[in-house]
């Protein structure tokens, strides 16, 4: 997905089937009846089948002075841990008016990646979702003191002292791999060769001869994770060298920090969009990118890339969300 501007992402959050109306404080079960909970969320109920947008029903105004969390339906996946990155879908309501403010379900298959790290995300949200199971549906009412209201859409009508009510589905684990992992692929004659250090950092050796004139996408390791789709945000490690002399012009390994960016949406050079979409998370790719799918005839002078340069990348796909 293209990174969306939501209430959660604005806070720099790199950011059971067939449910009946489910009472707050109760575990979802077939035919569950509506009820209330003595938790500051009395009278709130949640309905909607797993995998679909939940509908939250309550009589406004709803106000809490302390952030309150309830699991309204239990999943059967692994429990989340501090430091993990989870994928969530959510619907957000204004507690004062009862109006829905936004929903990640408005666009199918576009969960938000949320790090369970108090240095990267709102501490009370991290606390609310740490220890939950993948598949859980969690109701969280944020007190005005949390400051989330400042990040609400300008046209939402949210006031500074409003309670914000989230129904959050924990849909998966997006914790990035440390390096590519999967089945090694035999080298292809005539292409650059790659040798990996103990940390996984590649050394790329350019063969003699002319560079290919069309895009080359050659897996070096075939991962076993989900397939990358256009519009997602990928986390990658990569090294880029020039075909003409083998010199390195960029390396996330040297920075000791993976990179994140949208893929398949024109945010990166065309060779990356074409080469990475359709590959599996966990894969390592060799990309040989001619100028017309790289930086074009103008090149990238600040990186030492000429308009005639063919680029060679080794890319580890560590995550996609």
Residue 154: its pLDDT value, please?
A: 81
User: For 221-234, what is each residue's pLDDT tens digit?
Assistant: 999 988 999 988 89
Residue 50: its pLDDT value, please?
A: 80
Label residue 34 left, alpha or beta by phi (over 0 means left) and psi (-120 to 50 means alpha). Answer: beta
CA dihedral 81→281→177→195, nearest 10 degrees, is 170
Predicted TM-score of the model (pTM): 0.64
> Can you say how many angstroms the Cα of residue 195 is from the centroid of all Cα atoms in its chain?
30
Label residue 232 left, alpha or beta by phi (over 0 means left) and psi (-120 to 50 means alpha). Answer: beta
| Residue 237 bridge partners (DSSP) | 316
User: For 289-321, what is each residue's pLDDT tens digit?
Assistant: 999 999 999 999 999 999 999 999 999 999 987
Round to whole Å and give the CA distance between 28 and 270: 46
Radius of gyration of the chain (CA): 23
State the average pLDDT for the chain.
86
Q: Which residues, in sequence order, are CB contacts of 234 under 8 Å at separation 6+?
A: 228, 260, 261, 262, 263, 276, 317, 318, 319, 320
Mean pLDDT value of segment 235-240: 97
Give the residue among 235, 119, 231 at the shortest CA–CA distance from 177.
Answer: 235
Q: Which domains does the chain have, with CATH numbers?
A: 7-173 (3.10.50.40), 183-320 (3.10.50.40)
Phi, psi of 145 (to 5 degrees): -65, -15
Apex CA 191: angle with CA 186 and CA 193, to 5°?
Answer: 65
From first CA to last CA, the distance across the chain in angstroms is: 7
pLDDT band at 40 (very low <50, low <70, confident <90, very high): low
């Amino acid at each position: 997905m293209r990174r969306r501007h939501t209430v959660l992402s604005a806070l720099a959050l790199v950011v059971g089937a067939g449910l009946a109306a489910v009472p707050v404080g109760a575990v979802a079960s077939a035919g569950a009846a509506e009820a209330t909970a003595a938790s500051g969320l009395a009278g709130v109920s949640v309905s909607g089948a797993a995998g679909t947008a939940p509908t939250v029903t309550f009589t406004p105004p709803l106000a809490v002075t302390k952030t309150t969390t309830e699991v309204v339906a239990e999943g059967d996946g692994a429990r989340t841990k501090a430091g993990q990155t989870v994928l969530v879908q959510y619907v957000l309501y204004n507690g004062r008016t009862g109006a829905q403010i936004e929903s990640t379900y408005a666009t199918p298959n576009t969960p938000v990646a949320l790090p369970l790290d108090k240095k990267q995300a709102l501490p009370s949200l991290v606390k609310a979702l740490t220890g939950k199971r993948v598949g859980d549906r969690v109701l969280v009412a944020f007190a005005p003191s949390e400051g989330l209201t400042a990040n609400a859409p300008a046209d939402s009508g949210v006031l500074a002292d409003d309670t914000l009510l989230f129904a959050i589905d924990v849909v998966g684990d997006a914790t990035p791999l440390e390096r590519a992992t999967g089945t090694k692929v035999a080298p292809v004659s005539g292409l650059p060769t790659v040798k990996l250090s103990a940390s996984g950092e590649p050394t790329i050796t350019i063969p003699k001869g002319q560079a290919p004139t069309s895009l080359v996408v050659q897996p070096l390791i075939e991962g076993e994770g989900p397939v990358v789709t256009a519009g997602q945000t990928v986390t990658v490690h990569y090294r880029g060298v020039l075909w003409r002399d083998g010199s390195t012009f960029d390396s996330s390994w040297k920075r000791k920090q993976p990179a994140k960016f949208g893929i398949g949406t024109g945010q990166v050079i065309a060779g990356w969009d074409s080469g990475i979409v359709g590959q599996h998370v966990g894969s390592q790719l060799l990309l040989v990118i001619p100028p017309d799918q790289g930086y074009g005839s103008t090149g990238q002078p600040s990186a030492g890339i000429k308009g005639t340069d063919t680029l060679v990348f080794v890319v580890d796909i560590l995550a996609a969300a």
